[in-house]
A and B are shown apart, each in its own frame.
Chain A
């Protein structure tokens, strides 16, 4: 029988909750901005938002 608490978050896990959670929240806000940037038709702003989303996303996914 494995105590449930032991199966929970382990220290060696990759994520640091506070920092990563904030970055994820910022990423979600950027996604929301994407819609309005596309609606406005402003291409440089849209490209900037897309770039930040992609960088932020892959940064989050591949962080150690």
Chain B
């Protein structure tokens, strides 16, 4: 398919439809996604040489991808409703102010540290689905809670989810982890700085940013350095875990600094009574079990090998459009049911439910309420994700995605191309809702362009994955999941409007750093 203005604009139309319907016309995420899917299907049939057979196969592939995502999302939603029914969400909201008196540090703890920690395990909206309700219980508005939780882990997606997105980058580029890890870890580590500043700006305006600046700088250095050291030492799959743990420990030392010692009682904080340590232990036990299970399944090789022996995979034929855009035959998304984060979460729901029930935290009607609320909450994100993944597969199978990226790449010369790379990564993640998928879609293209323009390939791939990491948190599919546990289902446009601006600022920051770095290297 030739790259022309006409084709580029047609390829951009489905994305423009999502953005306009959600931001301007305030449609719910599921309706905007469904309408955009329809637009993409019509364009594919009319202008990109697709037929019904190609569209149907692309949707069969999309279903496999969507199920992989939905299994995680359903697990996270059920886990959230279990924790909420047992009163754990409110308890954590009460505990954080007791552990940390300074409001600014509390916010950093619940956003930059907690959501990143959750991203290390699960991903796909789980950090927001679990983190945002805790922020809400601390008195923030629903929209701000989702936006802050999204920004909190925007830097952590590439090396989070057991390093899945970084491994995809390595797999599709053919470069070794050792050559790609340093630049990626540095760019993503630096992204903590704008994420934390924006979170404090949203919650406390400039006064909070000024007050929190020393803590932000120390956290950026501590967490960024930990991520760098772990990623370059071959531990990329747990680099975000390590960074979040170091960040949490650092914050406990930072709270002892004279600047953050309590001078007076903060009127915005709700008074809390003394909470028994037994109640705390019982309440947080499912979270601890989730972490331990995640670690065991991902890191201990004998356990991982046994659990990964059962795979679900389907074969797909070669597909081509009338304009000779070919998608080779192969297996679709490989699903590993036993090590899947959704399976682990459901297992924790069962064990956690038993612990809560035997300690009197759940009543007689609790299981029924949890199931009913989970079903109700899961419908909105399920519909949105099905449409968004379907849309991305139509665009991928008809060459629209490639045309978009090639157009962006060719519009800039080698001096300014590094500034465009993170935006291309962001575009892929916005569409598919996944840093991983963005890397699979665009890394080969970025690699080719970097080689032609004689730019550093590891740096350009780092800019790609950093842009995708930040861009993935504002994708409609993830925002729908984030809104589902906080009473904003169907009102995602309010979150999107705010998040889009802040997220673009972070991607712009990455673009500027990548460009200056590229100039300094002379590449």
Q: Which residues in A have some Cβ–Cβ distance to B below 8 Å?
A: 1-2, 4, 6-10, 13-15, 17-18, 20-21, 24, 28, 31-32, 34-35, 38, 46-47, 50, 53, 57-58, 60-62
**What B residues does A53 contact at CB under 8 A?**
59
A21 to B270, CA, bound (A): 38
Q: Shortest Cβ distance from B154 into chain A, in angstroms?
A: 24
**What B residues does A47 contact at CB under 8 A?**
52
Residue among A4, A15, A53 with the highest chain B CB neighbour number at 10 A: A4
* A14 and B34 contact, Cβ closer than 8 Å, known pairs A8-B373, A34-B59, A38-B57: no
Interface string of B368-405 (1 = CB under 8 A from A): 00001101111110110011000000000000000000
Judging by beta carbons under 8 Å apart, are B60 and A34 in contact?
Answer: yes
* A8 and B487 contact, Cβ closer than 8 Å, known pairs A2-B136, A31-B63: yes
Instruction: Give B320-336 interface residues, CB cut-off 8 Å to A.
Output: none
Judging by beta carbons under 8 Å apart, are A24 and B382 in contact?
Answer: yes
A34 to B57, CA, bound (A): 8
Judging by beta carbons under 8 Å apart, are A21 and B31 in contact?
Answer: no
Judging by beta carbons under 8 Å apart, are B60 and A4 in contact?
Answer: no
Name the CB-closest residue of A to B62: A31
A24 to B67, CA, bound (A): 13
Q: Which 9 A-B pairs have the closest CB atoms?
A: A7-B487, A17-B376, A31-B63, A35-B60, A61-B34, A21-B375, A17-B375, A34-B60, A1-B139
| Cross-chain pairs A/B with CB under 8 angstroms, 10 sampled | A1-B139, A2-B136, A4-B90, A10-B487, A17-B379, A20-B379, A50-B52, A60-B383, A61-B383, A62-B31
Instruction: Give B26-48 interface residues, CB cut-off 8 Å to A.
Output: 30-31, 34
Q: Pick the contact of A7 from B136, B380, B490 — CB < 8 Å?
A: B136
Name the CB-closest residue of A to B63: A31
B250 at the interface (CB under 8 A from A): no
Main secondary structure of the interface of A (DSSP, over half): helix
Name the CB-closest residue of B to A35: B60
* A50 and B133 contact, Cβ closer than 8 Å, known pairs A8-B373, A24-B379: no
Main secondary structure of the interface of B (DSSP, over half): helix
Known: A34-B60, A38-B60. 17 other contacts (CB 8 A): A1-B270, A4-B136, A7-B142, A9-B373, A9-B376, A10-B487, A13-B489, A15-B380, A20-B379, A24-B382, A31-B59, A31-B63, A31-B386, A50-B56, A57-B383, A61-B34, A61-B387
Judging by beta carbons under 8 Å apart, are B490 and A14 in contact?
Answer: yes
Q: Count contacts on B: residues with CB < 8 A to the other chain.
A: 37
B84 at the interface (CB under 8 A from A): yes
Judging by beta carbons under 8 Å apart, are B377 and A9 in contact?
Answer: yes
Q: Pick the contact of B84 from A4, A10, A46, A61 — CB < 8 Å?
A: A4
A42 to B386, CA, bound (A): 25
**What A residues does B382 contact at CB under 8 A?**
24
Judging by beta carbons under 8 Å apart, are B386 and A57 in contact?
Answer: yes
Q: Pick the contact of B34 from A4, A20, A57 — CB < 8 Å?
A: A57
A18 to B376, CA, bound (A): 8
A2 to B137, CA, bound (A): 7
Q: Pick the contact of B63 from A1, A18, A20, A35 — CB < 8 Å?
A: A35
B89 at the interface (CB under 8 A from A): yes
B107 at the interface (CB under 8 A from A): no
Interface string of B70-103 (1 = CB under 8 A from A): 0000000000000010000110000000000000
Q: Pick the contact of B60 from A2, A18, A31 — CB < 8 Å?
A: A31
* A38 and B56 contact, Cβ closer than 8 Å, known pairs A9-B376, A13-B489, A61-B34: yes
Judging by beta carbons under 8 Å apart, are A4 and B133 in contact?
Answer: yes
Q: Shortest Cβ distance from A33 into chain B, in angstroms?
A: 10
Judging by beta carbons under 8 Å apart, are A4 and B137 in contact?
Answer: yes
**What B residues does A50 contact at CB under 8 A?**
52, 56
A17 to B373, CA, bound (A): 8
Residue among B52, B56, B57, B489 with the highest chain A CB neighbour number at 10 A: B56
A36 to B351, CA, bound (A): 36
A61 to B480, CA, bound (A): 14
Judging by beta carbons under 8 Å apart, are B379 and A61 in contact?
Answer: no
B459 at the interface (CB under 8 A from A): no
* A4 and B89 contact, Cβ closer than 8 Å, known pairs A13-B489, A17-B372: yes
**What A residues does B314 contact at CB under 8 A?**
35
**What B residues does A60 contact at CB under 8 A?**
379, 383
Q: Pick the contact of B56 from A1, A7, A46 — CB < 8 Å?
A: A46
**What A residues does B57 contact at CB under 8 A?**
38
**What B residues does A38 contact at CB under 8 A?**
53, 56-57, 60
Name the CB-closest residue of B to A2: B136
A24 to B376, CA, bound (A): 11
Residue among B67, B89, B379 with the highest chain A CB neighbour number at 10 A: B379
**What B residues does A46 contact at CB under 8 A?**
56
Q: Shortest Cβ distance from B329 into chain A, in angstroms?
A: 13
Residue among B90, B372, B376 with the highest chain A CB neighbour number at 10 A: B376
**What B residues does A4 contact at CB under 8 A?**
84, 89-90, 133, 136-137
Name the CB-closest residue of B to A22: B375
A18 to B372, CA, bound (A): 8
B486 at the interface (CB under 8 A from A): yes
**What A residues does B139 contact at CB under 8 A?**
1
Q: Shortest Cβ distance from A13 into chain B, in angstroms?
A: 7
